[in-house]
Structure 1
Amino acid sequence: MLLAWTYLAAAIALEVTGTLALNAAGTGRPGAIAVVVVGYVASFGFLALVLQRMEVSLAYAVWAGVGTATIAVVGMTALGEPVSPAKLASLGLIIAGVVGLNLAGAH
């Protein structure tokens, strides 16, 4: 199961990397476009490996939730996006949902 979580961490990191490159890719920079494509393709590849070892309901929720929360935090801390109580509360709900699904699937 440790291998599944390692693959899931890699899938999340690659998805976040691809997402962060989207802004630059929108300007037509070939290197940024390549980062987006490689990031997403590799992320889905690792996610496919995870699904051989973990339930899809848990794997996808963690992948999507942690990826979304990470992008939001990076946006607020490094990219100058505004921080609001609603954003922070929403991040808390994402984290609570992922933890809840993980606990519900625990055997």
Structure 2
Amino acid sequence: MSWLFLALAGVAEIGWPVGLKLAQTPAGRWPGTALALACLGVSGWLLWKAQQHIPLGTAYAVWTGIGAAGTFVVGVLVFGDALTPLRALGVGLIVAGVVALKLAH
């Protein structure tokens, strides 16, 4: 169950930078801020739950890795961020690191 909490925490982690991006426009200021704060709270609580059975360093690295890779994908698909081979390689390395941490646990 802890790994499910951690995966969900990582997915919720994607929401706060997306909320901050949305908050950069006048129309999105309050909805984006609300999204960011809600996702921070949910993500933090789920990370706390996951850390009850997963070591701190592993939980934090997996949490940030899911958040970073997921935010990258949202940036490319929704906000038109550049997708270059080197950027894709970088995110691939993050994902490989997350997988390695899970396999090592």
TM-score band by shorter chain is 0.7 to 0.9
**Distance (Å, rounded) in 2 between the aligned partners of 1:76 and 1:31:** 21
Q: Which residue of 2 aligns with 1:80?
A: 80
Q: Which residue of 2 aligns with 1:37?
A: 37
- Relative to structure 2, which stretch is displaced further, 8-17 or 89-98? 8-17
Q: Deviations over 1:54-107 (max 9, x none)?
A: 1112211111111101111121122211111110110111111112222222xx
What displacement does 1:32 show? 1.6
Give the secondary-structure state (helix, strand or coil) at the position aligned to 1:78.
Answer: helix
Runs of 4 or more off by more than 6 Å in structure 1? none
Give the secondary-structure state (helix, strand or coil) at the position aligned to 2:82.
Answer: coil
For 2:83, the aligned partner's letter is V
Q: Aligned residue pairs: how many?
A: 103
**Distance (Å, rounded) in 2 between the aligned partners of 1:87 and 1:68:** 12
Give the alignment of 1:14-93 within 5 angstroms.
14-27=12-25, 29-93=29-93
What displacement does 1:8 show? 1.3
For 1:25, the aligned partner's letter is A
For 1:26, the aligned partner's letter is Q
For 1:61, the aligned partner's letter is A
What displacement does 1:9 show? 2.2
**Distance (Å, rounded) in 1 between the aligned partners of 2:30 and 2:79:** 22
Return 5+ residue gaps in structure 1 as ranges. Answer: none
Q: Which residue of 2 aligns with 1:8?
A: 6
Identical pairs, percent = 35
Return 5+ residue gaps in structure 2 as ranges. Answer: none
TM-score normalised by structure 1 residue count? 0.85
Root mean square deviation, CA, Å? 1.5
